[in-house]
Structure 1
Amino acid sequence: MSQKTPSFAYGADRLTVGKALGIARGTLPGQLTEPVLERVRANREAVARIVAKGEPVYGINTGFGPLCTTRISADQTSLLQVNILKSHSVGVGDPIRGEIARLMLILKLHALSMGHSGVAETTLKRILWHIENEVTPVVPSQGSVGASGDLAPLAHLFLPLIGLGRVTYQGEVRDTAEVLGKFGMDPLELGPKEGLALINGTQFIAAHGVSVVEKMQQCLSQADIIGAMMLEGLQGSLRPFHEELHKLRPYPGTRHVAHRVRNLLKGSEILEDHIDCERVQDPYSLRCIPQVHGASRTAWLHLKELLETELNSVTDNPVVIDEELSISGGNFHGQPLAMALDYACLAASEIGNISDRRIYLALEGNQTDLPKLLMKDTGLNSGYMMLQYTSAALASENKSLCFPASADSIPTSMGQEDHVSMGSISGRKALQVLENVEKIQAVELLTAAQAFEYRKPLKSGWFLEKVHGLVRTRVSFAEADRVFATDIEAGLELIRSGALIRLLDTVSRKKALSLKTDYDELFETY
C-alpha cells in the first residue's frame, strides 16, 4: 500500500515555520478541506445578516480609520472593499523577495480560513490558486507601520484579486490582467468586509519572521562549527566548554553550544598536543563562545515560540465571532513580533560581532605560533589583513542597524491609530543584519581554515577535518596575496547553502558519531 502524501489543511492544522517554508517551496501541498469551507461559509453568512440589519459595524458598513463614523449604504459596501485595496496600495521601495510574498499569501490564507474574517469561499480559493500556480504578487518593501496591521504591503499583495497590480509569473514581472487573461480568469468581486479582512493583519511582519527564524538558525549552527575550527587553529582550550562548568549556570542555549563544540572537537590530536601549554586563559571570543552563542540561541527560541503563536492566530479587524458578536479590537497590532524581531536582530548582530573578534585574534600571530596575518612571507604580501577590514565594516554596520524599530511610534490615520509597532522595519532590519552575518561568517570560515592548515600534520576530530576538506574544495590555502574577494564569494556560497551543516549530518550517519544534545528539540527544529 502506498503511503499518503502529507499535506497541510489551511485553517485546521497547526502551522509552523518549517511547514510554511515547505508550502512556499512546493514540497508540502496545502488544501482547503470541506469542514473549513463550511465554517467559512457560515461566517460569511453572518456578515451578510449584519449588513441586512443595517447596524453599524466597522469596515462592513462604515468607513475606515478616522472615517469609522461615516455610514456606507448597503449598495456601496462592495465598492468600499475595492476602494480600500486601491487607496491603501501606497508602498514604495524595492519589491520584497518572491518567497516572502508567497509566505504572506500562505499566512493570510491560513488566518482567513479560521472563519472569523467574513471572507467568501471564492476569495480563499483564488488566494490558493496564486500559491499553487506561483503567480506571486509584487509587493513593495516599505510603507507599513505595523498597525493596523501591514496595510500597504497587504493591499499590494491582494490587488491581483481585483485584476490590478503586478505579479511575477514564470520568472517575469507582468501586469495582473495579462496573467489572468492567459488563464481565462476574471477579477473577483469583493463582498462586504473582504477588502478590509485582506489588508488588516501582520502577515508582512510574520513572513519576514519566518525567514529570520530559518536564516538565523543556520547562522547559529554554523557559528558553533566555525568557532570550533577557529579554536583548533588558535590552539584554544576546551576547558571552558566542560559540562560541569555549565551545569553551574544551566542556560539551555549555553549548554547546547558547549556540548556541540565538545563533540566537534572529539578525537582531536591538535587539542592533545597543547593540553599542557602554559596559557592559562583564552581571550573571551574563544572562551565565551557558549555564553555568547547560547544567549543568541535563547533570543532565536523566543522569536520562534512567539512566531508560531502568530502564525496560528486571527489578526484582522473586526473579528466576526458570530452574527451577534463582532469585535473591533487590536489583534492586528504588530508589537508582539516587533519586539521579538528587534531582540533577534541584536542577537544576530552579536554572532557577527564575536566572529569578527576571532578573525582579528587569528591575525595577531603572537601567542599561538601562527604567522602574523596568517601568511609567512608578509611585507611583500599583506596576507589576511584586509579580510578583517571587511568583517569589521559589516559588524559595525550591523551595530548601527540594532536600534529597535519597536521603540518608535508615529501616530497615523488622523490620530485614530496613535500607537503603531513599526514591526515591518524590525523584520526587514533583522534580515539585513543576518545577511551581513553570513558574510562575516564567510570571512571567519576562510580565516579559520587558513589557521587550521598551520596545525598539520596534526589532525582534528572527524567533523572538523571534513569541514576543512570541504572548504579546500572551494578555496585553496593562500601562500601569497590574490584577489581575496573571489575567496569570500566562494565561502559565502558555502555559508548560504548550509553545506557545512549537511556535511556534518552525513558524517554523523556514516561514522555513527553524533552532534545531538538534550536541547535539539528546542534549538535545531522549527
Structure 2
Amino acid sequence: MGTQLISQESISWQKLAPFLDGPIRVRLSPGAKNSIRESNKVLKQILKTKRKVYGVNTGFGKLSSVSISVKDLKQLQLNLVRSHCCGIGTPLDLGVTRLMLVLKLMTYAKGYSGVRPKVAQLLVDMLNHDILPIIPRKGSVGASGDLAPLAHMARGMIGEGDVHFQDRIVPAMIALKESNLNPIVLEAKEGLSLINGTQVSVALGIRSLAEAYILLKTADISGALTTEASLSTRTVFNPKIHRLKKHKGQVQSATNVYQMLNGSEIVKSHEDCGNIQDPYSIRCIPHVHGSSREVYINAEKIIDNELNSVSDNPLIFPNGEVMNSGHFHAEPVAQALDTLSIAMAEIGAISERRINYLMKGIGDRIPMFAAVNPGLESGFMLAQVAAAALASENKTMAHPASVDSISTSAGQEDFVSMAPWAGRKCLRILNNVRAILAIELLIAANVNHRFHKKMSSGKGLVPVMSLLRRHHMLTIDDHPLSDDIETINDLIQSGKIVNSVSQYINVL
C-alpha cells in the first residue's frame, strides 16, 4: 500500500486512479494542515461576532431566512446530515466511494471550508483503515452538490449507518471502534461542508476516464484486426495522409493501425486485388476513433480542473470574508461526461458496423457469418446481434443528462447539472463498448484463424492472436459464445490486450 500526499498542489486524475483498485494510505502535507487550521480559526472569529452566515447559523436552501440560535448550531448540522441521507439503489462501488473521501479531503486542504482539523483527520484515518460508508448510487442531481451521497458519507463519519470494513459490512461505530477511532461530533458549518461538493460526480468521472483510456487503445487494436481479417487495405492508414488533417487524435489512431498491420502476410496477399474503397467503418477508423480521442482529452482537462478546485459553499476567506457561490454545481463535469458518453458510444457503434461487415461474407475467402460450414453452422450470427443490441442501448443512453435539468428545493435550486447520472450512464455505456470490442476481437481473430491460417498477422497483431489462442478463443465449430466474450471482456478491462501489443509497438 503506497502513500498519497494530499496538499494544495494540483495533481492529475491518473494520480488518484489507483484508489479505484484498493486502499492507499494518505497523509496531509504540513501546508494543507495549516490551511485547514487557519480557516477554522477564521470561522471561529466570525462566530464570535454573531454575524449571520448561511448554513452556519441559518437554515438551508429555501429555509435560509430562518435564524438558528447558538445553542442549536450543532443540532442544525446533525439534522442536515441525517435528513439528507435519502439515497436510493445499490451502493456505489468501493473504488468510487474511496475516491469521494480523497476528493473531499483535497477540497479541505485548500483552506476555504472552515472545518476543524479533526474532521479532515478523520477522513485521513478512515481512508488509511479503508472504512468506507455504504452509499446508495442514486439520489443526486449534481447541485447543490452531491448532497444525498455525501450525506451518507458524512453519516459514517458521525458513527451512524453501515460501512464496508475488512471485507464485511458492519455498523460504522463498530468499524471506528475496532480502528481506535472516534466519530466526529459536528460543529458549525461542518455538516454542510461535508455534503456540499462535486466529489461523487468527479469520482465517477475519474472511473470513466480510466475505463475509456483502455477502450480507446483497444478499439484501434480491434479495428486493425478487422481490417486485416476482412482483407481491407492498409494504405489508407498511412500517417502521412492523416497529417494533412489537423486532428492529433486522428493521426494517433491512423499510426496505431498502420503500425499494427506492418508485416502482415494477410494484407500482402491481396495487395494487387484493386479494391481501394473499403467500407467507411474501416476506412474512416482514424477519423472516428480520433474524434473520440479528442473528446476524451477535453474531458480529462475538465475533470482535472474540477478535482483540483474548491467545491464548497459558503467559502471562508483568510481576511474574514464569507462569500456564497455556486461552486457545488457540477455542470462542467456533467457536460464533460455527456460528451465522453457520445464519443464512446460512437466507438461501440463503428465497431458493431465492422462486425457486421465480417458477417456478410467476403468474396470466396470468407463465408457468411464466418462459419466453416454455413447453413449447417450459424457461425457468429448471434454475436453480431448481441453487439447490435448493445450499440442500440448506447444510442439511447448517449442522450445528454446535462440538458435535462429539473427544479428542486421549492425552486431555490432551479437549474441542476445531473452530473452523477451523466457519470453513471457513461460507465454503463463503457461497459457495453467493452463487450462490443470483445465481440469484434473474437470474430476477427477467428476469421484469421479459420480462413487465413497459413499467413501471419501484422507485427502488432501477432501477440493478440497468441493471447487469444492461449485462452482457447480460436475455434472452428459452433459452440456457446457467452463465456468467450466474457473472457475477452476481462482481458480488455485488465489491460492485457493493450499490454500484449505494447510489447512490440508503441500504442499511442
Q: Confirm or deny a common fold (TM above 0.5).
A: yes
Determine whether 1:326 maps to 2:322: yes
Distance 1:177 1:29 in 2: 21
TM-fit CA distance, 1:50: 1.0
Paired residue secondary structure (2:48): helix
| Aligned residue in 2 for 1:129 | 125
Distance 2:476 2:265 in 1: 24
Match of 1:479 among 469, 472, 476: 476
| Aligned residue in 2 for 1:456 | 453
TM-fit CA distance, 1:234: 0.6
Q: Please give the residue correspondences for 1:228-377 in structure 2 after superposition, counting only pairs within 5 Å.
A: 228-367=224-363, 369-377=365-373
Match of 2:487 among 484, 487, 490: 490
| Aligned residue in 2 for 1:511 | none
TM-fit CA distance, 1:322: 2.5
CA pair 368-35 structure 1, distance change in 2 beyond 3 A: farther
TM-fit CA distance, 1:274: 1.2
Determine whether 1:84 maps to 2:80: yes
Determine whether 1:470 maps to 2:467: yes
Distance 2:104 2:475 in 1: 50
Distance 1:86 1:409 in 2: 26
Distance 2:148 2:500 in 1: 42
Distance 2:158 2:364 in 1: 66
CA pair 350-315 structure 1, distance change in 2 beyond 3 A: same
Cα deviation digits, residues 357-396 of structure 1 (max 9, x gap): 1111111113372111111212121111011111011000
Match of 2:423 among 402, 420, 427: 427
CA pair 24-282 structure 1, distance change in 2 beyond 3 A: closer
Identity %: 38
Indicate if the aligned counterparts of 1:339 and 1:406 stay in contact, CA closer than 8 A: yes
Give the letter aligned to residue 461 of structure 2. L
Distance 1:298 1:368 in 2: 39
Paired residue secondary structure (1:115): coil
Distance 1:286 1:360 in 2: 11
Indicate if the aligned counterparts of 1:235 and 1:368 stay in contact, CA closer than 8 A: no
Distance 2:295 2:168 in 1: 38
Indicate if the aligned counterparts of 2:492 and 2:498 stay in contact, CA closer than 8 A: no
| Aligned residue in 2 for 1:71 | 67
Q: TM-score, normalised by structure 1?
A: 0.94
Indicate if the aligned counterparts of 1:234 and 1:368 stay in contact, CA closer than 8 A: no
TM-fit CA distance, 1:185: 3.0
Indicate if the aligned counterparts of 1:24 and 1:106 stay in contact, CA closer than 8 A: no
| Aligned residue in 1 for 2:53 | 57
Superposition CA RMSD, Å: 1.5
TM-fit CA distance, 1:41: 0.7
Distance 2:4 2:172 in 1: 27
TM-fit CA distance, 1:71: 0.9
Give the letter aligned to residue 169 of structure 1. F
TM-fit CA distance, 1:29: 3.9
Cα deviation digits, residues 136-165 of structure 1 (max 9, x gap): 111101000110010000000111111111
Cα deviation digits, residues 387-444 of structure 1 (max 9, x gap): 1111011000111101111001111111111111111110000000000111111111
Distance 1:183 1:7 in 2: 19
Gaps of 5+ in 1: 509-513, 521-526
Distance 2:243 2:365 in 1: 33
Distance 2:23 2:175 in 1: 24
Determine whether 1:162 maps to 2:158: yes
Paired residue secondary structure (1:174): strand
Give the letter aligned to residue 130 of structure 2. E
Distance 2:475 2:374 in 1: 12
TM-fit CA distance, 1:26: 5.3
Give the total of aligned pairs.
Answer: 507
TM-fit CA distance, 1:182: 2.2
Give the letter aligned to residue 467 of structure 1. V
Distance 2:339 2:456 in 1: 39
| Aligned residue in 2 for 1:48 | 44
Gaps of 5+ in 2: none
Distance 2:146 2:473 in 1: 47
Distance 1:95 1:171 in 2: 15
Give the letter aligned to residue 447 of structure 2. A
Indicate if the aligned counterparts of 1:475 and 1:490 stay in contact, CA closer than 8 A: no
Determine whether 1:515 maps to 2:506: yes
TM-fit CA distance, 1:76: 1.6
Determine whether 1:140 maps to 2:136: yes
TM-fit CA distance, 1:61: 1.0
CA pair 491-197 structure 1, distance change in 2 beyond 3 A: same
Indicate if the aligned counterparts of 2:20 and 2:94 stay in contact, CA closer than 8 A: no
Determine whether 1:15 maps to 2:6: no
Indicate if the aligned counterparts of 2:143 and 2:417 stay in contact, CA closer than 8 A: yes
CA pair 24-433 structure 1, distance change in 2 beyond 3 A: closer
Match of 1:114 among 110, 113, 131: 110
Distance 1:6 1:487 in 2: 35
Indicate if the aligned counterparts of 1:233 and 1:452 stay in contact, CA closer than 8 A: yes
| Aligned residue in 2 for 1:209 | 205
| Aligned residue in 2 for 1:503 | 500
Indicate if the aligned counterparts of 1:51 and 1:74 stay in contact, CA closer than 8 A: no
Cα deviation digits, residues 425-477 of structure 1 (max 9, x gap): 10000000000111111111100101122222111222201110101111343
Distance 2:73 2:358 in 1: 67
Distance 2:384 2:241 in 1: 32
Distance 1:344 1:412 in 2: 26
Indicate if the aligned counterparts of 2:26 and 2:127 stay in contact, CA closer than 8 A: no
Cα deviation digits, residues 211-259 of structure 1 (max 9, x gap): 0001001000000011101111011111221223212212011011001
